[in-house]
Each structure stands twice: as structure tokens, then as C-alpha cells.
């Protein structure tokens, strides 16, 4: 089968679009014929080696497709089922072997592109706004890269919880996308000082929670945007990883809390996975959340998709089609 993988870490030039054997099924797994695979920033971390894995590293952490075969002990899905999943690496391929417990059924009315494009970022937004910090009506959050894939979902999920949402983006066009996703206020953090703007917009109080996926370049100022005893959620490294720091800083910023979460730990069992997947599919079906698919690339052009994502040229979701 065709797949996109790296044998050496590095730039997009290290990506190989070649044949690999179709994965053999281990106990508990199902073989999924992939209809569409989502592109996520985490794929870039696996390509560069920021997140190390043994070679060959087949990229891709989410997809939707049709079950082709199941291991003898699997009863939860069967060949022909339409399914979607996230957080199992290897979706930049024609087939993937996935633990059956991680597969959720795709509703009949939903196309597989929408399902593939919603799982990872949608469930991330769900856990960040429902579990990491249970946003309450009247609270305010700051969402960096609010026009991005994860960003648009977080904005929408925060609005569904009744929060006020301040977003940041790099361009006026992205600011429009962030507003369309639901932002109450948008700060152009390439032109404006987002710390000063956030303080102004909150009457000097600061926000209850910051959702920061940008990392190195926003870290310092993000800490200054949080009200005493609020929460800093650093959940990504789009501009590079956050440098080491002293816990005393949390005291100096107002006894704030800090967490560095990951979707895997918030979809730790079937119950949590079903809760989050059910909610995001319901939001899509009702129109409460609109998925913006920026572009669909052939699998062979994964490098172009990753270059656009890393180059800040995208809004919303990118997909690959095998
Ligand atoms: P996005 O679509 O959000 O793309 C990244 C965005 O980050 C860019 O569009 C850009 O928006 C902004 N950005 C700011 N500085 C830089 C920079 N130096 N280089 C590149 N981009 C920059 O990607 P994803 O939605 O796939 O992922 C967003 C982040 O969320 C990633 O860091 C990812 O790792 C993280 N994430 C974490 C999860 C978790 O559970 N921990 C799960 C899902 C995602 P702008 O131009 O507006 O600045």
C-alpha cells in the first residue's frame, strides 16, 4: 500500500511516498481502508523528531474510512462499517491497523471527509473546554491561533459553553475566520501587543484561562494575561517548545495553575471517547459548529500540506486523500 513516512527526521524533503506492507492485524485491532486522513501539527513534530518514534515513522494521527477486516477477537466493529478515529499514528496511508476500541461509528448523514477532519481537533477542543478547564458562562478565555484547525474548534466549543472568547491571529483575513468561528474579540498578535490588548479587553482583570498552542513565542506574555488563580493551558509548540522555567514564576503571576495536556490522556477509555465524539458529531449535525476544510491534497502531496501548515498559510482543516 502507498504510505507517507520518514526514515530520517528533518524537513519535508525527508518525507517518502512509497509502498509499505499493509499492516498485519494484532489482537484487538481492525484494518481501516482510509478515505481521508487529517493533517495536524503533530505530524510535523513526528517528521522533525521533536516527538521521537522508531523508524520508519508513518505519519498521520486521524482518519475516517471503512473497516476492511478485524482481528478474531474483535466484535465491536465489522467489515463494511464506516468509522473514524484519532491518536493512532499511521493514517498517511491507504490502510491503518487501529485498536478497535478507538474507532467510533460515523453517523449515516456525515461524509467521511467531515468525520476525518473533526476527530482530533474537535475532541481536543472538547476536552480543553469541558475537562481541562470546565468553562462556565461569563468566564473569558484567550485562544491563540484562533483561525487554525484546533483554534476554530476551541472557539466554537468555548462559545457553546457560554464563555467570552478573545482570539489571536496573524492576519486580518484570519481574523475574519476567527470571528466567523465565534470569537467575540480578535487581536492581531503580529501587530498588536496581545498582553496589553487582553488586559484592556478584560478591564485589567485578565482571563480565566489561556489556551496556548503556539508555545515559545507566546508563552511569556500568555502568563501575564491570566487572572490570579486562573489556568495556563500550554498544549502545542507551533512556534517551538516552551523553554524550561521555574515554578516560582506561577506564584509571581498570581498563584496561577499550569497544565500541558494531551488528547490521548483525555480519551483514556471508551466512555470518554464516546462522550467527546458524540458531542462533536452532534454539534456538526445541528450546525452549532461548522467545519472549515481549507484544502484536500492527494496523499502524495503531504509535503505541500505540511509546508502550508507550518508556513501559517492555512485556516481550518487540511485533509489528505489516498
Ligand atoms: P493550526 O491550524 O492551528 O496551525 C498552526 C497555527 O499556529 C498557524 O496557522 C499560525 O496561526 C500559528 N502560529 C503561530 N506561530 C507560528 C509559527 N512560528 N509557525 C507556525 N505556526 C504558527 O494547527 P493545528 O490545529 O494542527 O495545531 C495547532 C496546535 O495545537 C499545534 O501546536 C498542535 O500541536 C496543538 N495540538 C495539541 C493537541 C493536544 O492535545 N495537546 C491536540 C491538537 C493540537 P497564525 O498565523 O494566526 O499565527
**Distance in Å, CA 282 to ligand 1 centroid:** 25
- Shared domain check, 72 and 167: no
Q: What is the pLDDT of residue 269?
A: 96
Question: What is the best residue among 50, 88, 174, 213 to mutate for testing ligand 1's pocket, by most ligand atoms within 8 Å of CB?
Answer: 213
- Is ligand 1 within 6 A of the CB of residue 130? no
- Shared domain check, 107 and 202: no
- Is ligand 1 within 6 A of the CB of residue 219? no
Average pLDDT over residues 231-243: 97
Question: What is the best residue among 39, 142, 236, 266 to mutate for testing ligand 1's pocket, by most ligand atoms within 8 Å of CB?
Answer: 236
- Shared domain check, 304 and 251: no
Residue 70 included in any domain: yes
Per-residue pLDDT band at 139 (split at 50, 70, 90): very high
Average pLDDT over residues 179-186: 98
**Distance in Å, CA 201 to ligand 1 centroid:** 24
CATH no. for residue 232? 3.40.50.720
- Shared domain check, 252 and 136: yes
Nearest atom in ligand 1 to the alpha carbon of residue 314 is 9
- Shared domain check, 132 and 25: no
181: Cβ contacts below 8 Å, ≥ 6 apart: 146, 147, 151, 152, 155, 156, 167, 292
- Shared domain check, 137 and 40: no
Residue 274 included in any domain: no
Nearest atom in ligand 1 to the alpha carbon of residue 266 is 40
**Distance in Å, CA 236 to ligand 1 centroid:** 7
- Is ligand 1 within 6 A of the CB of residue 194? no
Percent of the chain with pLDDT over 90: 100
- Shared domain check, 25 and 132: no
User: Residue whose CA is closest, atom 35 of ligand 1?
Assistant: 236
User: Residue whose CA is closest, atom 1 of ligand 1?
Assistant: 148
User: Residue whose CA is closest, atom 19 of ligand 1?
Assistant: 239
Residue 282 included in any domain: no
Question: What is the best residue among 40, 123, 132, 148 to mutate for testing ligand 1's pocket, by most ligand atoms within 8 Å of CB?
Answer: 148
- Is ligand 1 within 6 A of the CB of residue 170? yes
Average pLDDT over residues 283-311: 97
Q: What is the pLDDT of residue 92?
A: 98
- Is ligand 1 within 6 A of the CB of residue 152? no
- Shared domain check, 200 and 129: yes
Nearest atom in ligand 1 to the alpha carbon of residue 311 is 20
Residue 276 included in any domain: no
- Is ligand 1 within 6 A of the CB of residue 124? yes
Number of compact structural domains in the chain: 2
Per-residue pLDDT tens for 194-227?
Answer: 999 999 999 999 999 999 999 999 999 999 999 9
- Is ligand 1 within 6 A of the CB of residue 226? no
Q: Which domain holds residue 11?
A: 2-118+291-321
Residue 278 included in any domain: no
CATH no. for residue 95? 3.90.180.10
Model confidence pTM above 0.85:
yes
- Shared domain check, 88 and 156: no
Average pLDDT over residues 137-150: 98
- Shared domain check, 312 and 254: no
Per-residue pLDDT tens for 90-134?
Answer: 999 999 999 999 999 999 999 999 999 999 999 999 999 999 999
- Shared domain check, 161 and 129: yes
Amino acid at each position: 500500500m502507498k504510505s507517507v513516512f520518514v526514515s530520517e527526521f528533518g524537513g519535508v524533503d525527508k518525507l517518502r511516498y512509497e509502498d509499505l506492507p499493509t499492516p498485519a492485524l494484532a489482537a484487538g485491532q481492525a484494518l481501516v481502508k482510509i478515505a481521508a486522513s487529517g493533517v495536524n501539527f503533530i505530524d510535523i513534530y513526528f517528521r522533525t523528531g521533536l516527538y521521537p518514534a522508531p523508524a520508519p515513522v508513518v505519519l498521520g494521527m486521524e482518519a475516517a474510512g471503512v473497516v476492511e477486516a478485524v482481528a478474531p477477537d474483535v466484535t465491536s466493529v465489522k467489515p463494511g462499517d464506516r468509522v473514524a478515529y484519532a491518536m493512532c499514528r499511521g493514517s498517511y496511508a491507504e490502510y491503518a491497523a487501529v485498536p478497535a476500541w478507538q474507532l467510533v461509528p460515523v453517523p449515516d448523514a456525515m461524509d467521511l471527509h467531515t468525520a476525518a477532519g473533526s476527530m482530533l481537533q474537535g475532541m481536543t477542543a472538547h476536552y480543553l473546554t469541558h475537562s481541562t478547564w470546565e468553562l462556565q458562562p461569563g468566564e473569558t478565555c484567550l485562544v491563540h491561533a484562533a483561525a487554525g484547525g484546533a483554534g476554530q474548534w476551541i472557539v466554537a466549543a468555548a462559545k457553546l459553553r457560554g464563555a467570552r472568547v478573545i482570539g489571536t491571529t496573524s492576519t486580518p483575513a484570519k481574523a475574519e475566520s476567527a470571528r466567523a468561528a465565534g470569537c467575540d474579540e480578535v487581536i492581531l498578535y503580529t501587530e498588536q501587543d496581545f498582553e496589553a490588548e487582553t488586559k484592556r479587553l478584560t478591564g485589567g482583570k485578565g482571563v480565566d484561562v489561556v489556551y496556548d498552542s503556539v508555545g515559545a513565542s507566546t508563552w511569556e506574555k500568555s502568563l501575564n494575561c491570566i487572572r490570579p488563580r486562573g489556568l495556563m493551558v500550554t498544549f502545542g509548540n507551533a512556534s517551538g517548545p516552551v523553554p524550561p522555567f521555574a515554578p516560582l514564576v506561577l506564584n509571581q503571576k498570581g498563584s496561577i495553575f499550569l497544565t500541558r495536556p494531551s488528547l490521548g490522556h483525555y480519551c483514556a477509555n471508551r466512555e470518554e471517547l464516546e462522550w467527546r465524539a458524540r458531542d462533536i458529531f452532534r454539534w456538526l449535525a445541528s450546525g452549532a459548529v461548522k467545519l472549515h476544510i481549507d484544502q484536500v491534497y492527494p496523499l502524495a502531496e503531504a509535503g505541500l500540506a505540511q509546508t502550508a501548515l507550518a508556513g501559517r498559510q492555512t485556516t481550518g482543516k487540511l485533509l489528505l486523500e489516498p
